[in-house]
Structure 1
């Protein structure tokens, strides 16, 4: 493994400010290669698709390259399985609308309290409009863990959709997704998997996960603000017919994308995937091969830092960490500090050069299940460019606050 974190960090202009950027779960910074790709799309010039001239053909090429890049990143069988949109929230509402058109009273939808509200509320609202029943899988109020058994028990013959996260954006918990999606498939239900916090920290193969539809956001893995929902099978998209303008394309995946594509952001997506594939300098072969090598290196790097972070937080008096004690999870820590509100903690850490998030982070159901309420807690999240020094700075700053 040839993973040189300092060499990687040198490619990120924002990281030169000397701060500890421990807010990757809210959005990562971007490397120069992504900045250049976005700027070049503007500089060289692109026109809307469908024109008989070079700038229009260039736009079509950018879209095709971005679909292929995301397909490689998540293990989709075909670039045509990739649907782009401005955010995971917007895309989920889009898919909830089209899927709910086929739901009837008596049908059931399964959601979980571990999920970001973007993979909870759209389905609840769509189900209620359709007269379908919503069944909610709860989490352990002490650890936040989601039992696959608790989800599976809710899936029955009338289940039409199971919405579940691959990794909690708040607690880092990674539930037993294959078990859940296998049961959904047995029941004839579609599985919609929120991979926004999963994709940056894992080697993703959506068919191995069993996901019918997998959502990811590029700005969580060093790309621009653009999201994608990826189907495990092209046929899944072929069976869905969203509302669209009469003259807009009726082909898949174009019919799911509203209006003109963000060509410059798509150029950035391709550059971001290329960057991720080259994080391990020994990576070789096809882009998929390089991604496999680099993802393994990232996982090993982040796991070492995660252990350091969790052990350090657990050793601090006055700090309560929520989430798993062991098992698979992303390098995300969620905690409170006795006697200080989360916003005050975040302010004091920011003054010490440490960037962390605070609040509920849109995990609305999760913070409620943990008994924390809307003010939530503090979230420190590591990225592929995080270092042991970043973790030490956080722990030392918290030690000053609690000492």
Structure 2
């Protein structure tokens, strides 16, 4: 299926100003249709969910539509889609709930490759429960996290394994299906931070075999909130803290307070926008999403390779993104020059490529990043050849 980047770009008002955005891993730009959906929800009659008034029905319809949309995106059951303020908040909530069943001697595995949002909640609640935290390493030279890294730490006392679907720092994509199989053989649960993965590849939670998959719509053109996919049967077994009069139904028992209906409307619009990136209106939304994300992955990978080739010609550049299977995310450092200085230099040229460690505290330390971190070049489906050329020209000037 073809991918028409020129057509895609027309949907983003922010691109009209001429800035080249390579900061998608921190949050993508927003299509007009998503902004319109948010505004439309706020303009329509709206109240707490119910079935009596039009305002109540509007709110209820928005919630059900958003659950269906995210389920289509992730290959999940709509009855197992939980919304929250952020992926971080959802992970803290699930960690707190699961930790209620952990005791001294139980083990929780976290990885050195992960964003801190999929590390610290598990460390905090494991320690409070008296459980032992074990660390999954990765190869700092290749950036690979293999299933063997996981199995080396598994035991009969393992209760949960937390691992990323794709590193937000260096792009590495671990083999989630193989990891899930190993984790389940040990009798443990697998929690996946899918924030960076869901923006760049098709996801099938059921086929992968993961127990929890968390993501953030604002990384794939939506508004700022978090979403979690799990089987309804698993969620039925968990009993989170909640208010006494709030429903005990799944998935609502995990959603504290009133949901942000306007943001959910924007999330549905973002998923629909993604489903249209492949240029076809045939088939179900899930089928169109699979085709679109395959086209996105092929397009972004080609653009990534062109940028890598250009960076290699610049001289004193070290690329830390080396895994065989990865997202279009490059982390670079420069001999004798600060990544933060490169970030500011490029910004003056209207090229946004930020510097830092991006809350990926453990992998940044493991690969030996300097205090200022690295320059992260993250692609999105709206990046084109002219963006890449401007980035490379700007870095050539910066390096003299």
TM-score class, shorter-chain normalisation, is over 0.9
For 2:52 and 2:371, locate their aligned partners in 1 and report how far apart those are by CA, in whole Å.
53
Q: Which residue of 2 aligns with 1:358?
A: 355
The TM-score with structure 1 as length reference comes to: 0.97
Q: Distance in 2 between matches of 1:188 and 1:255?
A: 26
Tell me how large the CA RMSD over aligned residues is.
1.1
Counting only pairs closer than 5 Å after superposition, residues 260-271 of structure 1 correspond to structure 2 as 260-271=258-269
Pairwise CA distance, 1:327: 1.6
The total of aligned residue pairs comes to: 400
SS of 1:291's equivalent in the other structure is: helix
Match of 2:274 among 267, 273, 276: 276
Aligned-residue offset at 1:283: 4.3
Contact 2:321–2:329 at 8 Å: present in 1 too? no
Residue 217 of structure 2: aligned partner: 218
C-alpha distance in 1 between matches for 2:222 and 2:152: 38
Q: Distance in 2 between matches of 1:139 and 1:295?
A: 27
How far is the alpha carbon of 1:299 from its aligned partner?
1.0
174-183 or 246-255: bigger deviation: 174-183
After superposition, what is the alpha-carbon deviation per residue over 1:72-108, rounded to whole angstroms, capped at 9, x for unaligned?
Answer: 00000x2111000011000000000000110000000
Deviates more, 1:135-144 or 1:113-122: 135-144
Aligned to 1:201: 200
Say if 2:394 is the partner of 1:397. Answer: yes
Provide Cα deviations, 1:242-261, integer angstroms capped at 9, x if missing partner.
Answer: 00000011000001001100
CA distance in 1, matches of 2:318, 2:274: 34
C-alpha displacement at 1:372, in angstroms? 1.6
2:52 equivalent to 1:52: yes
1:282, CA displacement in angstroms? 2.6
TM-aligned CA deviation for residue 339 of structure 1? 2.2
Maintained 8 Å contact 1:81/1:253:
yes
Residue 389 of structure 1: CA displacement? 1.3
Matched, 1:327 2:324: yes
Partner of 1:74: 74
**Does residue 175 of structure 1 match 2:174?**
yes
SS of match in other structure, 2:199: helix
What is residue 337 of structure 1 aligned with on the other side?
334
Name the SS of the counterpart of 1:200 in structure 2: coil
Summarize the alignment of residues 125-140 of structure 1 with structure 2, pairs less than 5 Å apart.
Answer: 125-140=124-139
1:12 aligns with 2:6: no
TM-score, normalising length: structure 2: 0.98
Contact 2:50 2:59 in 1 (8 A): no
User: Which residue number corresponds to residue 184 of structure 2?
Assistant: 185
Answer with 5-14 or 41-50: which moved more.
41-50
2:247 aligned partner? 249
Structure-1 residue corresponding to 2:311: 313
Deviation at 1:224, TM superposition (A): 0.5
Residue 27 of structure 1 deviates from its aligned partner by 0.4
1:64 aligns with 2:64: yes
- Check conservation: 1:119, 1:163, Cα contact below 8 A: yes
The alpha-carbon deviation at position 328 of structure 1 amounts to 1.2
Q: CA deviation at 1:375?
A: 2.2
Q: Which residue of 1 aligns with 2:25?
A: 25
- Deviations, residues 126-179 of structure 1 (Å, cap 9, x unaligned): 111111111101222223322220111111110000000010000000012211
Q: Relative to structure 2, which stretch is displaced further, 202-211 or 245-254?
A: 202-211
* Cα distance between partner residues in 2 of 1:186 and 1:235: 19
Structure 2 residues not aligned, in runs of 5+: none
SS in 1 for 2:89: helix
Q: CA deviation at 1:334?
A: 0.3
Counterpart CA distance in 1 for 2:193 and 2:279 is 30
**Gap regions ≥5 residues in structure 1:** none
Q: Which stretches of structure 1, 4 residues or more, deviate above 4 A after TM superposition?
A: none
Distance 2:51 2:278 in 1: 40
Q: Provide, for residues 270-328 of structure 1, a one-character-per-residue CA deviation record: whole Å limited to 9, x for no partner.
A: 0001100011113411111111111111111111111112222223211111021x521
Output the CA distance in 2 between the equivalents of 1:160 and 1:255. Answer: 23
